[in-house]
Chain A
């Protein structure tokens, strides 16, 4: 049987790299504002007290022995979610940019029992972003948005947003395969290639509470080039589709059973 909406096991994945000043507050905010989410902090090889702060605030902490980057950190989170049998996993950045209060909005849009969406992204550009988004970010975001909208035939306004929630299908996909660096945009293409559905809901974000963005000027050129290359190559890649086609099979059986059956499907090759 499909689990009731409130019985779903939900996980908030908090990737954090040298965020000792923020991560504790992020974890406590999640506990307060989205209390039915468990929290795992992925300490991506921090050299400060990130892990201790996260532990003290009551999160499970997964520590990387060295820095893997945001892609590796998030994949660790998805692997943790898969291993511990979570139905839903959200990304909430450890720098405090994402407001945990919006988790309920994302979750509401994600009907894990229906086939409406497999991932829901919080978009800054479907309403008031909540802070002044730098112009360079806006332009870069617009380019990716146009490219992805053309590929997926679906209006995607904020492909660089990391504030997302996904169901079991997304967890299984990303636990197996997730882009190395600057993964957000490419992950949307992966979803599309695997015929999983994406929705957006408007969210407001905070300007970064602590520290600076990891993406400075020379890196943003690399960011653009890398992601555009990945999108281009991604169009020509054969993807092992991890889950059987859901639309036709879902009417007879309960969706939960359909998903667990698909788990035994061959693991691609």
Chain B
């Protein structure tokens, strides 16, 4: 066991393979490009684009600046820098998912409020229309007082209260 850990500690702090770094740079570049294109096409608003751009930039910095990754992984007690990158990636992905769950919750709350408001307005509009057409049938224009309207049966007292 002791031997194994000493072997691992030799590997600790070893920089990422150059190929891995090139791949990471390409991936982040593509990610940035896709995000910018989505904003340009108005599929993504700037607020969320900035979030993804920050993530991509952090990835890029960690991929290019090897020492930083080694330092960070050492500081949090992870021997293999690549593992630190995995952990960090997982944590960020988890936080973003949580963040979007919060946003989804807010959106569904707002959708509910909108539906309720529209339903209320619809009911009011129909009530107003019903009152309006009754008034029209009764006396030609709907500006007459409500107490007359309430008594008057539409049709029976048509045209009488016009004076």
Residues on A close to B: CB < 8 A? 65-66, 180-181, 222, 225-226, 229-230, 233, 236-237
User: Could you tell me the distance between the alpha carbons of A236 and B113 in the complex, rounded to whole angstroms?
Assistant: 36
Give the top 7 A-B pairs by smallest Cβ distance, nearest first. Answer: A226-B46, A65-B113, A233-B39, A65-B117, A229-B46, A233-B40, A230-B46
Excluding A65-B114, A229-B49, 9 further A-B contacts by CB distance (< 8 Å) are A66-B113, A180-B47, A226-B47, A226-B50, A229-B46, A229-B53, A230-B46, A233-B36, A233-B46
State whether the Cβ of B110 lies closer than 8 Å to any Cβ in chain A.
yes
Closest residue to A230 on the B side, CB-wise? B46
Kindly list chain A residues whose C-beta atoms are within 8 Å of the C-beta of B39.
229, 233
User: Could you tell me the distance between the alpha carbons of A236 and B117 in the complex, rounded to whole angstroms?
Assistant: 38
What are 27 A-B contacts with C-beta separation under 8 Å? A65-B110, A65-B113, A65-B114, A65-B117, A66-B110, A66-B113, A180-B45, A180-B46, A180-B47, A181-B47, A222-B50, A225-B50, A226-B46, A226-B47, A226-B50, A229-B39, A229-B46, A229-B49, A229-B50, A229-B53, A230-B46, A233-B36, A233-B39, A233-B40, A233-B46, A236-B40, A237-B40
What is the interface size of chain B, counting residues whose CB is below 8 A from a CB of the partner?
A: 13
Question: Could you give, for residues 37-62 of chain B, a 1 whenever the CB lies within 8 Å of some chain A CB and a 0 otherwise?
Answer: 00110000111011001000000000
User: Could you tell me the distance between the alpha carbons of A65 and B115 in the complex, rounded to whole angstroms?
Assistant: 11
- Within the complex, the shortest CB–CB distance from B69 to chain A, in Å, comes to 25
Residues on B close to A: CB < 8 A? 36, 39-40, 45-47, 49-50, 53, 110, 113-114, 117
User: Could you tell me the distance between the alpha carbons of A237 and B110 in the complex, rounded to whole angstroms?
Assistant: 30
Kindly list chain B residues whose C-beta atoms are within 8 Å of the C-beta of A180.
45-47
Closest residue to A66 on the B side, CB-wise? B110
User: Could you tell me the distance between the alpha carbons of A230 and B40 in the complex, rounded to whole angstroms?
Assistant: 9
User: Could you tell me the distance between the alpha carbons of A245 and B97 in the complex, rounded to whole angstroms?
Assistant: 47
Kindly list chain A residues whose C-beta atoms are within 8 Å of the C-beta of B46.
180, 226, 229-230, 233
- Within the complex, the shortest CB–CB distance from A61 to chain B, in Å, comes to 15
- Within the complex, the shortest CB–CB distance from B49 to chain A, in Å, comes to 7
- Within the complex, the shortest CB–CB distance from A67 to chain B, in Å, comes to 10
Kindly list chain B residues whose C-beta atoms are within 8 Å of the C-beta of A225.
50
- Within the complex, the shortest CB–CB distance from B39 to chain A, in Å, comes to 5
- Within the complex, the shortest CB–CB distance from B161 to chain A, in Å, comes to 33
User: Could you tell me the distance between the alpha carbons of A256 and B49 in the complex, rounded to whole angstroms?
Assistant: 41
The residue among A180, A230, A233, A237 with the most chain B CB atoms within 10 A of its own CB is A233
Kindly list chain B residues whose C-beta atoms are within 8 Å of the C-beta of A229.
39, 46, 49-50, 53
- Within the complex, the shortest CB–CB distance from B46 to chain A, in Å, comes to 5
Closest residue to A235 on the B side, CB-wise? B40
